Chain A
Amino acid sequence: MTDAATRSAFDLAEHKSSIAVLVAFAAVFIFFAFGAQGFLSLTNFLNVLVNNVVLLAIVALGMTLVVTSGGIDLSVGVSLDLASLAFIALLAHGYSAPLAVGAGLLAAVLVGLVNAILIAKMKISPFLATLGVLFIGQSAQRLATNGGQPIYLTTSAHAQTFAAISRSSFLGLPTPVWILIACIAACYLAVHRMAFGRYARAIGAKPGVAWYSGIRVPFTLAQVYVGAAFLCGIAGILLSSSVRSYVPMSGNAFLLDAIGATFIGTALSRDLRPNVGGTILGVVLLALVKNGLLLIGWNFYWQQVGIGVLVFLVLAASFGLRRRGD
């Protein structure tokens, strides 16, 4: 009887928090649809999708993997930047495009492996391990670029490679959007439809229980961090092919938004855990707010305040309702 009572109270809380996020989403959408000129148009949505959603969504998917397993990855920017650096540096030295892409992904995977060793093998807490890697990654980038000078590749030979990656389209959608769809599908399957995802969620919820249940905790964690880094590597290559350059430390810009999107997403799940669908909705929400604020003429600086306030409100709704629920 008591069990059923607490249960139903909890259900209500679950619904409240996802309703709160959906209401926020609808409010943002309606507000800008009426308030911002040109917000409600297909060109604008496609523009938001390509420019604001794709890269952040891929990084946020990596963050979702990590948060699912109960960790956090502060070094997403490092994976992204080092992939971008390897990719651009190899192209600059005249290597073929597939090789450069491969090297970029490999660089990101190496960052993931370092994280995996520190977290899964040496049992360092994810926050501190990835913080250390973030420091080291920044140093490495400064040393490699003489203090942070960008590498620009503007010759026409490279333009073709970049265009093939970032400006081509297939069935009417730009290639980066297809890559995003592939990443979403892969992450959805991995997190919600495969044993791997259940293991990761078990580790995230109760690491001790997961360990006693015979789940290979270190191996699963290693997969999580390498997978997240690999996704960031993809984002790094997409980023540098769309700006045709490598700009040191540009990946850090995604860190906060990726964490924000992931936790906005948790409000949408029944058990308030990270989930792929919620993360994507979080990314779209952040992107629409940025785009809408730009269209009503708020400058870049106010956008940051706006995003901060929005994330704050969504977190407040989600956590406030969660606490009352249990």
Chain B
Amino acid sequence: MTAAAEPAQAPTRHNRGRIAAFAIRVGALFMFALIMAYFAATAPGFVSTFNIINVIEQSAILGVLAIGMAVVIIGGGSDVQTGGIDLSIAANAGLCAAIYALMTNAGYNQIVTVSATFAAGMAIGGLNAFAVVWLGILPLLATLASMNVAAGLELTITENTVVGTTSSLLTVLAGGRFLGVSALALVLILFSLAAALVIHRTPAGVRLYVVGGHSEAARAAGLNTALYTASTYIFSGFCAAFASILIVSRLSASTPGTGELLLSVLAAALLGVVFSRRFIPTIGGTLLAVLFIGFLANGFQLLSISSYWVSGVQGVLILVVVAVTTFARPQER
């Protein structure tokens, strides 16, 4: 391509890309609305306040974890193979849930227990940060290894059993209400509001996007990229610990198999990209995707379609979303 032809062609391409991107974003919202409308019309009780609050409650755990994952992706770049990803987040939540349940049962006071839970979650996050930032291991591999460590530790301390427990904190979280909204729903709303404020409304949040988008440029501009990347992994460990307490409150127990949440967390964080203007992870988009997955599972349940379909539909959604966004993005070689 000659130099003269390039400027002439670039704007049209850019415009076409922007129009396509806009169409996809509107299309995604439209599809979201269409599926909701379908459930509203056919599933009995889908649009009741009770049901909607119920879905938000159910989504609280996934929401907190998906926000943790989204922040890691924001700070590490959205290339899935070499960019930021935290595969250990769900296993970490399982480990924290086990620690919380066991320590509560052992009679430690709640402040000590909760601090220990958060310390454990952030320790695994710190391990990831150390491996990714200082050792330079690919996040995909580093967090894969720490996922094994966390899952193994959970199995070891619980001996692969359900650890039932109860505490005043759990009772408040599971049954408490404030202004007619249940505690779990409120927790999700407040948590995502706080995350959205920090990520989208503070200089630190903008810098985090820079670090993820172009780390060389960020370093050249004088940002401490290592610190930003490391804090995303520690934050995702924090989210794992936070979610673990929600898990224990919802189930009144820590259960083996919490690690299986990983796929849904990834699906939510990746699907959320489609709700943003430039196809980057955002807190709002992630939250929408989490609610979408929640409403989808809920609608299936109300229509008494077998739950075996849910993961398949999630898979198809991921593929459709990614295929469409790949199509809209300018081709890079």
Contact = CB atoms under 8 A, between A and B. Distances in A.
Interface of A: 70-72, 118, 122-129, 131-140, 142-143, 147, 207-208, 211-212, 256, 259-260, 263, 299-309, 311-312, 315-316, 319-320, 322-323
A139 B141 contact: no
Interface in B167-223: none
Contacts of B326: 122-125
Given A256-B144, A256-B148, A319-B136, A118 B333 contact: no
B312 A302 contact: no
Closest 3 CB pairs of A and B: A139-B312, A135-B315, A308-B148
Given A128-B322, A133-B315, A305 B149 contact: yes
Nearest to B156: A301
Given A122-B326, A212-B333, A301-B152, 17 more contacts: A124-B323, A125-B79, A125-B326, A131-B263, A132-B322, A135-B315, A136-B316, A137-B315, A142-B311, A147-B308, A301-B159, A304-B152, A305-B149, A305-B152, A305-B156, A308-B149, A322-B136
Contacts of A306: 152
Contacts of A320: 135-136
Interface string B293-331: 000000000000010111111111011001100100001
B141 A132 contact: no
A56 to B, nearest CB: 14
Given A303-B152, A315-B137, A319-B135, A138 B312 contact: yes
Contacts of A304: 148-149, 151-152, 155
Nearest to A141: B308
Given A125-B81, A301-B152, A308-B149, A139 B323 contact: no
A316 B132 CA distance: 9
Contacts of B331: 123
A319 B315 contact: no
B141 A138 contact: no
A128 B141 contact: no
B251 to A, nearest CB: 20
A118 B326 CA distance: 11
Contact of B148 (A71, A143, A307): A307
Contacts of B149: 304-305, 308-309, 312
B92 to A, nearest CB: 12
A277 to B, nearest CB: 20
B141 A135 contact: no
B140 interface: yes
Main secondary structure of the interface of A (DSSP, over half): helix
A133 B326 CA distance: 17
Contacts of A124: 319, 322-323, 326
B118 to A, nearest CB: 21
B138 A143 contact: no
Interface in B108-159: 131, 135-138, 140-142, 144-153, 155-156, 159
B56 interface: no
B156 A302 contact: yes
Contacts of B150: 308
Given A135-B315, A142-B308, A312 B323 contact: no
14 contacts: A72-B81, A122-B323, A126-B81, A132-B316, A135-B312, A135-B314, A138-B312, A139-B308, A143-B306, A304-B152, A309-B145, A312-B146, A315-B141, A316-B135
Nearest to B150: A308
A299 B146 CA distance: 19
B72 to A, nearest CB: 14
B319 A129 contact: yes
Contacts of B131: 312, 315-316
A68 B72 CA distance: 26
Contacts of A137: 315
A256 B87 CA distance: 11
A309 B156 CA distance: 14
B78 to A, nearest CB: 10
B270 interface: yes
B318 A315 contact: no
B105 interface: no
Contact of A134 (B135, B145, B306, B315): B315
Contact of B155 (A301, A307, A322, A323): A301
Contacts of B152: 301-308
A305 B309 contact: no
A323 B318 contact: no
Interface in B2-33: none
A139 B318 CA distance: 14
B135 A135 contact: no
B308 A143 contact: yes
Nearest to B310: A139
A256 B311 CA distance: 20
A299 to B, nearest CB: 8
Contact of A139 (B79, B81, B153, B311): B311
A136 B144 contact: no
